Amino acid sequence: MIYKMKKESATHCLECGTVTYGRNDQKFCSAKCKNKWWNRRTNARTGYQLKVLNMLDRNYRILTRLLSIGVLSVRSEDLQLLGFRPDVMTGHRRMMKREWNECFDIGYLQMPSRISNLHYLEAGDAAVKDEERFASEPASEDL
C-alpha cells in the first residue's frame, strides 16, 4: 500500500511565536506559554474593571462625606478638585429635562456648573419616588 503524506503547514505559538510540533490544531508550544497568554488576556480585562470600580468608589466616598456634613449642593469645580469624576456613575436618567445621576445608593441632579439635590436613594423604585419627591421639594441648600 502506498500512503500519501500530506504536508502540513507549520503553526506558531500564540505567545512566543515559535513553531509548534504535535497536533495540527495546537496553538501553544508549552503549558507555560498557554498560561502566560491566558493570564495576560484575563488581566487586561480585570484591570479595566478594577480601574472603573476604583473611580466609582472614590466618587461614592466623596458624595458620602458631603452628605454626612449636610451639603446638598456643590460646584462642579470644587468636586473635581476633590477627585470626583462626573462622567463615572452607576445610573443615569433624563427626567423633567434634567440629568439625574446615581452613584450606587446616592442620587444627584447634575447641571453644567454644579451638582445639587444630593440624597440617598430609598429602597424600591427610585425613579418614581424621586419624581414625586422633587416635584414638590423647594430648592436645596448651597455649599
Q: What is the pLDDT of residues 23-73, one digit of tens each?
A: 888 899 999 999 999 998 888 778 888 999 999 999 999 999 999 999 999
pLDDT at 81: 94
Burial class (CB in 10 A: 0-12, 13-18, 19+), 92: exposed
**Whether pLDDT at 5 is above 70:** no
* For residues 106-128, average pLDDT: 81
Looking at residue 125, its pLDDT comes to 46
pLDDT of residue 124: 58
Percent of residues, the chain, with pLDDT higher than 70: 80
Average pLDDT over residues 100-107: 92
What pLDDT is stored for residue 49 in this prediction?
87
pLDDT of residue 131: 55
Domain ranges of the chain: 54-136
The answer to whether 84 and 58 are in contact (CB under 8 A) is yes
* pLDDT computed for residue 58 by the predictor: 95
pTM: predicted TM-score of the whole model, two decimal places: 0.61
For the chain, the first-to-last Cα distance in angstroms comes to: 93
